[in-house]
Amino acid sequence: MIYNNALIITMKIYLYGLDLPYLNLNDVKRYIHDLTGIDIIIKDEFFEQYINEIIAEKIAYTRVLDHKKPFKKIKISYDDLLEELQLLEKPIIADRLYDGYQFQLVTNELLDEYAIHIILSNRYLCT
């Protein structure tokens, strides 16, 4: 939106979440709104709209396989790719560690840069 030759950005916050019995997204929404005063838009699980082999492969490459060398580039197999596709299609608690920095690079490619995106995930992200 342009107003008197100045760009005004309308802030949005998107909250992506899983349907979990121990997490009430409306409570999270209310809490964030009370802190910020910004309206929160609840969306379905983030990766639900990005179920494809390209995203699954990018996510697979963010896995941490060696805890002593977490930044080591890994080679993934076709089975790794299929496992990530299954996690995208049917989110369950993953028993893998993911490099949080590399993971957020994957998600940033998919996001609107003029909004805050809070993604509650079933993956263990570490930094």
Residue range 102-114: mean pLDDT, rounded: 86
Q: Is there a contact between 48 and 24 (Cβ–Cβ < 8 Å)?
A: no
Q: Confidence class of residue 111 from pLDDT cuts 50, 70 and 90?
A: confident
Residue range 75-95: mean pLDDT, rounded: 81
Residue range 58-72: mean pLDDT, rounded: 78
Q: Tell me the pLDDT tens digit for each residue of 6-39.
A: 555 568 899 998 767 788 999 999 999 999 889 8
Round the average pLDDT of the chain to a whole number and report it.
Answer: 82
Give percent helix, percent strand, percent coil of the chain, each to the nearest 5. 35, 20, 45
User: Would you call 94 helix, strand, or coil by DSSP?
Assistant: coil
pTM for this structure? 0.72
Q: What is the pLDDT of residue 4?
A: 52
Residue range 68-82: mean pLDDT, rounded: 78
